[in-house]
Amino acid sequence: MLRAAVWGFLGIFLALPAAAGERPALWGFIHEVKIGAQVHDVPYMWSGFNREPYSVDLNIEMLLAPSVALWGGRLRPAIGATINFEGYTSKAYIDARWQRELSRSIFYALGIGLAVHDGESFTSDPDRKQLGRSWLFHPNAEVGYRLNEHQSVSIYYEHISNASTAPKNHGLDTLGVRYGYRF
């Protein structure tokens, strides 16, 4: 059932350009790509504590071209991954991302979606978080500065959690900087 929901979610957003009457970006599909470095398992954020050792995660993301105007911004799908090279929790995600441009230079974005991870759902290892499920909620936020029409830098925060739908729900937070290129 979850797989059907994810495919349905993706199908709806892929059909949005026709509904919105918007001219598609690069290849009619990609609006922007982002890459960045993030601190793994940041304490004192939403999950509240650090358990997995500090390391640097690589975050890569594509914002897709289909979008809908909503509350002064644009809502569009995002597909990405946050990769930990030290053997701790990595994740891939699909989100609905709402972004608003405050000026030619400043923007912010909020997103919610689903992530699948390679971490531990249940473990007795004191150096691993117990995430409770394989599929987790993926709320995120971003504040950025546009260097020009195509390039941006931003601060990006993301969280994964099962939202207390399983006995264990340690959650995991990452925070870092990203470079974006908009087509």
> Among the listed ranges 58-72, 119-133, 147-161, which one has the minimum average pLDDT value?
119-133
Q: How far apart are CA 163 and CA 3, in angstroms?
A: 19
Which tokens go with 143? 């504040």
Residue-range domains of the chain with CATH: 2-182 (2.40.160.20)
DSSP annotation of 8 reads: H
Residue 121 has pLDDT above 80, yes or no: no
Q: What is residue 44's predicted lDDT score, i.e. its pLDDT?
A: 79
Mean pLDDT of 75-79: 96
Whether the Cβ atoms of residue 178 and residue 35 lie closer than 8 Å to each other:
yes
Please tell me the predicted confidence (pLDDT) of residue 177: 97
pLDDT digits (tens, 9 = 90+) for 99-118: 999 998 999 999 999 999 98
